[in-house]
Amino acid sequence: MPNFKEKLIRYQYLIRNIRDFFYSHNVVEVVTPSLLVAPTTDVYIDSIEVSVNHALSKSTKFYLHTSPELEMKRLLSKGSGDIFQICQVFRDNEHGHINSNEFTMLEFYRVGFDMHQLIDDIKALLISLGNDDPVKEISYAEAFYEYAEIDILNSDFEGLKNILESHGLNSDYEWIEDIQMVLFVHLIEPKLKTIPVCFIYDFPKQQAALAQIDGLVAHRFEMYIKGTEIANGYQEIQTSKEYRDRFETELGKRKSLSKSIGSLDDDFLDDLKVGLPSCSGVAIGIDRLFTSLSL
């Protein structure tokens, strides 16, 4: 089966080229634990629980990491400088032709970079991987103006509900960010299918996740390749208190949806007390990158 072997070798080249890119930029490769004491707090991401050491009568519950983000931020707070990692990550309740319970993630952090510098870094990475397709960069708000004539940042919950109804869509959503997302999926994403590489940046502050907020927007971005979401990145918040607040907000949302709730990762919050250096970081889905770029 020459095609099968050829594909394995092409994948090997991709991983090798990614490593070469980071090594040549003095970004250090790290490995962090996959077994964590606390599940993710993300409202729409579910950790897979595992139980170990039962036969030793020392039963312990762990959660497979859904991304290496927090463990890598512990390293950053200890002075690691620029770091990257390529690892398997695990998520429950993911199913579809481009979603699965396990996938390969490239996660990296550049100290002193703001969001736009990190986007430039990803563009340089794509070029080093042999992709020289034109790249479009557009803010979340501009994308909504351009493709749907909607003022997404200044529309309130009721206003967005009306827009959903005018498109004949169910408007039974809990939070404004959910409506922003369904409108994005319905009206914007299909338009991105004709664009080779597109960065969408400055998400509405309600979708900040762990990105710095600046007025109505958060310095968060996503990269789409031919309409498929490939990467998600932030200009990172830096203090332990901000992390605790964001985690608690997410846990509150999980609670109101009657989803499983874990404890907060206090060790992480303790480690972060010295603060995260000013940095930006991104997670890139390697399997999707491999398929969509036909590398």
Partner 1 sequence: MNYSTSQFKNGMKLMLDGNPCSIVNNEIVKPGKGQAFNRVKFKDLITGKTLEKTFKSGESLEAADVMELEMQYLYSDGEKWHFMEPGSFEQFDLGEESMGTALNYLVEQDNCVVTLWNNNPISVSPPNHVTLEVIDTDPGLKGDTAGTGGKPATLNTGVVVQVPLFVAIGDRVKVDTRTNEYTGRA
Which of residues 111 and 203 has its CB atom nearest to partner 1 in the complex? 203
Q: Which of 178, 236, 265, 271 binds partner 1 (CB under 8 A)?
A: 178
Using rule CB under 8 A, residue 124 touches partner 1: no
Tokens for 224?
């789409």
From the CB of 294, what's the least distance to partner 1, in Å?
20
Which residue in the set 170, 194, 258, 294 belongs to the binding site for partner 1 (CB under 8 A)? 170
Q: How far apart are CA 178 and CA 44, in angstroms?
A: 11
CB of 45 to partner 1, least distance (A): 7
Contacts of 14 (CB under 8 A, 6+ apart): 129, 286, 289, 290, 295
Asked whether the beta carbons of 176 and 159 are under 8 A apart, the reply is: no
DSSP states of 261-292: -----HHHHHHGGG-PPSEEEEEEEHHHHHHH
| 83 to 12, 42, 106, 144: CA distances (angstroms) | 21, 23, 11, 34
Burial of 205 (0-12, 13-18, 19+ CB in 10 A): middle
What string marks each residue from 181 to 220 as x (binds partner 1 by CB under 8 A) or -? Answer: xx-xxx--xx----------------x-x-----------
Stretch that binds partner 1, among 72-80, 148-156, 169-177, 270-278 (CB under 8 A): 169-177
92, 120, 229, 242: residue in contact with partner 1 (rule CB under 8 A): 229
Interaction of residue 42 with partner 1, rule CB under 8 A: yes
How many degrees, rounded to 5, is the angle at CA 75 between CA 70 and CA 42? 5
| 79 contacts partner 1 (rule: CB under 8 A) | no
Of 67 and 131, which has the nearer Cβ to partner 1? 67
Contact 147, 188 (CB under 8 A): yes
Give the x/- contact pattern for partner 1 in 82-101, rule: CB under 8 A: ------------xxxx-x--
CB 208 within 8 A of CB 218: yes
For partner 1, the binding residues (CB under 8 A) are: 42, 44-45, 94-97, 99, 168-170, 173, 177-178, 181-182, 184-186, 189-190, 207, 209, 222, 229, 232, 283
